[in-house]
Structure 1
Amino acid sequence: MAKVKLHRCSWTFVKLDGHPCHKVQKALDEQGVDYEVVKHGFGHKRPRVRDLSGQEKLPVLELQNGEVYREESAQMAARVRAGGLGSP
C-alpha cells in the first residue's frame, strides 16, 4: 500500500513546534502514520508543489486515496491527530 507523502521544506533539522512543516511531521510521528518526506526549496521555487496543490505553501500531504491536502499547519496537525487521514 502506498504511503502518505509529506511535502515539506528542506530544513528537516528545524525541530521547533512553531515551524509549520515540523508541526505536521510531529503529528504524523505521534500517530504512527507511515509517510515519506518529499523535500522542496523555499520561496516561489516550488513548481512541483504548485502543480500538485495549486499553490506554493508547505506543508502539503498527499494521502493514500489520492487526495491532496493543504491547510494551515495547526489545522493539518489537528486532522492528523484526530485520525482524519483515512485508513492506514
Structure 2
Amino acid sequence: MNIILKPEQEQFIKKQLDQGRFPNVEAVINQALELLQEKQREYEDWVEDVKIKVNEAAAELERGEGVPLETVVEQIQARFRHVREDKK
C-alpha cells in the first residue's frame, strides 16, 4: 500500500521522531491507527447507547409515561427566560 502524505503531515511525523517520541515512522503510524480505532469504538459505543436510550424512551411513551412535547418546550423556554433575567 502506498500512502501519500501532505507536507504538514510529513513534518509532524519528522517532529515526533526528532523529539524521540517514536523510534520510527511505523511506530507513529501504528499509534495514529490505534487512536483512530479507539475513537471509532467510542463512537460505536455512543451510537449503541443512544439507540438503547431511544428504545427506552419509545417504550416509556408507549406506556403513557412520556412528557408532552409542549410541556418540555415550555420548561426550556422558562429556563431561558430565567437565565436572561439573571443576567440583567
Q: Which TM-score tier does this pair reach, normalised by the shorter chain?
A: under 0.3
TM-score by length of 1: 0.24
Pick the structure with more strand per residue: 1
By relative contact order (CA 8 Å, sep 6+), the higher-ranking structure is 1
